[in-house]
Amino acid sequence: MMRRRQQGGLLAMVLLGLLAVSVLATIAYGSYYQIARGTMDTVNRANASALLTQAAYTLASEARDSDADGHAEPLAGQMRLSDGLNDGWAIPATSGAPKSDAWGTAFKYCPWDNGSTNSSAGRLAGANPALPGSVQFALVSAGPDKIFNTSCAQAASGALGDDGVRVMTVAQMNQGVTYLLGDPVANVSALPAAGSPAGMMRVTSDTQITYLWNGSSWLPLGAVAGLVAGAAADLDCSAYPPGMLARNAAEDLLMCRASRTWKKVSP
């Protein structure tokens, strides 16, 4: 009889042990899942922040003063974003900026046209005059819930919800973020004939001269565009500042002098 009781007690202990192991395994799995989920969320948020910043600086580099009012306009929006707020666009397909956040949702793009000409297709009506703090464009990420809670106006004013936001102001655009500096090349012949974004600057190693891509050709900084065949000694150069250099068709070097006429300076 005693033997049977001992066997029954041993079986009960084994069953209790198995139950304890099962409970501990469940707790451990739950803890691991929560840690893994938390880690992935942290990684996604870090990636989302980096993508927003990259997109903002790329769009800034692509901005141009398309209406000649002294302020670089961001690219015009081309396709309205269906986000429930209907006040922004998707980033244009022609832009080199990332188009979506870390959760796969398209960024909302809010461009403004600031300056004396402050209205244009694909942009929101901007400030006139354009103040240093006037927002040129904003980018909004819907975040992990994939729901936009921030309008373009809220992004510009700083009244943010739970979305990720980046803005570029007039002052920031005027501080040089609209230019890109590429890797040096051996000489002028090594400059790529096409494919560079307008505003890209590259240095030639042989002469240490910086060249600017204007969208169709490379121009040395400080040289005059369009005067290869037009500049000539004693002709008017009042459209350019004194000291500006140019070359004529014969490859003579000319300088715009204080009297606002071209003077040949090469033998």
What are 69-107's pLDDT values in tens digits?
878 899 999 889 888 888 999 999 999 999 999 899 999
Higher per-residue pLDDT: 9 or 219: 219
The confidence score (pLDDT) of residue 42 equals: 74
Span of 27-31, 120-124, 156-160, 184-188 with lowest mean pLDDT: 27-31
Higher per-residue pLDDT: 169 or 71: 169
The pTM assigned to this predicted structure is 0.57
The confidence score (pLDDT) of residue 204 equals: 84
> Is 197 a residue whose pLDDT tops 80?
no
The confidence score (pLDDT) of residue 216 equals: 79
Percent of the residues in the chain that have a pLDDT greater than 90, as a whole number = 25
> Is 186 a residue whose pLDDT tops 70?
yes
Span of 118-127, 163-172, 180-189 with lowest mean pLDDT: 180-189
How many CA atoms does the CB half-sphere of 16 hold within 13 Å?
Answer: 6
pLDDT band at 136 (very low <50, low <70, confident <90, very high): very high
Closest by CA to 99, choosing from 81, 118, 86, 113, is 81
CA distance 114 to 136: 7
Asked if 77 contacts 111 with a C-beta cutoff of 8 angstroms, the reply is yes
Encode burial over 77-98: b for 16+ CB neighbours within 10 A, e otherwise: beeebebebebbbbbbeebebb
Neighbours of 226 (CB within 10 A): 10
Higher per-residue pLDDT: 164 or 216: 164
Alpha-helical segments (H) within 85-179: 152-157, 170-172
